[in-house]
Amino acid sequence: MEDYDFSSEGIILVLGVTGAGKSYFLNQLKSHSATEGHSLHSETLQCNAVQIFLDDEEKRSITVVDTPGFDDTTRPQGEVLAEIAEFLAAQHALGVPLRGVLYLHKITENRMTGSSMTYLRLLESLVGGHALENVILVTTMWNQLRDEDRGKALRREQELLDRYWAPMEEKGSYVAQFDGTSDSAYALVFQLAGKDSVVLDVQREIIDEDRTVLATSVGSDLLRRLQDDGEAYRLEAAELESRLQRAMEAEPKDKDLIRHLREEKSDVEKILHHMDESVSRMRVRPGSSIRDRIRQAMTSSNRAAIGGAAAILAAVVNLTVFVVQLGLGG
């Protein structure tokens, strides 16, 4: 914060649905060099990161942060959004430059799924139109294609550009391929590492305007989607309840049908419960809490001297950080 200058450090955020290859991408960064450093609060469902030191003196670094997918079936979407938003807010409050966002999409996906469509819309709300020049739309899984499938994949990539990504590309985002290698991963990171820093809409809204996550642009966008989906699921739950009552009153009773209807109804109720949890999780106003946690992290130890901003963020938002040295002697 005001006592430290973190301008020589930078953050790159990696986003994408579950299975897009985010963790694999970070593993390629880790495998490029020899060392792993501090690892704090290791939790697989939390954000993880690779801090890459760019010089022997460890004065310049870029930290690449993996994030959970919005389509994680074990967690409400609002919880995942709040976690990502709070990390970004902490990074902004700490004064670490955000260099950009890598959005990963697997080229082996035959069609744009509902999860991918939702994530893409939320990405635009999260970033804001002014910051799209700092976004790279990355297709992954090219290394898993058979030779005879490559032409089909190239056509699919063009379809993504024409039907879904064109509005973002027109505002400055650009498209790239990740071929699964360490060199390819680093090339994408270095494309963003040299860019001017940017402040996303969600960072300004949470830290500068002290909004709840729900009141941010991306939070409001997700709420509208949850409300639309929730109405459909509530109608489905009511219909299942009606069918279940009729099945239980019928003679003779069809036990298999009753069991099936109960299971379906339970599944729908779980989805509705997740939606309620999403809204509750987004009602938090994290700005002041984030500032307090940053102050505590900076004063309770020598983290700033040991690992810079990445180490402080690790303590504030339960981030696991792996350290890679890329100096001239590395």
Q: According to the model, what pLDDT value does residue 36 have?
A: 36
Q: According to the model, what pLDDT value does residue 37 have?
A: 37
Q: Kindly indicate the confidence band of residue 302, based on its pLDDT and cuts at 50, 70 and 90.
A: low
CB 60 within 8 A of CB 211: no
| Mean pLDDT over the full length of the chain | 85
Domain extent listing, the chain = 9-212+286-325, 217-281
Q: Kindly indicate the confidence band of residue 191, based on its pLDDT and cuts at 50, 70 and 90.
A: very high
Q: According to the model, what pLDDT value does residue 313 have?
A: 84
Which of 98-107, 108-117, 175-184, 236-245 has the lowest average pLDDT?
108-117
CB 135 within 8 A of CB 105: no
Question: What architecture (CATH level 2) is domain 9-212+286-325?
Answer: 3-Layer(aba) Sandwich (3.40)
* Measured CA distances, 67 to 44, 94, 102, 146, 259 (Å): 10, 19, 11, 29, 38
Region 281-310 average pLDDT: 77
| Closest-CA residue to 93 (of 250, 207, 242) | 207
Q: According to the model, what pLDDT value does residue 319 have?
A: 75
Q: According to the model, what pLDDT value does residue 161 have?
A: 93
Statement: residue 301 has pLDDT above 80 = no
Q: Kindly indicate the confidence band of residue 118, based on its pLDDT and cuts at 50, 70 and 90.
A: confident
pLDDT tens-digit series, residues 9-52: 899 999 998 888 998 999 899 865 433 333 333 333 455 888 88
Which of 61-65, 76-80, 158-162, 270-274 has the lowest average pLDDT?
76-80
β-pairing verdict for 48-53 and 320-325: parallel
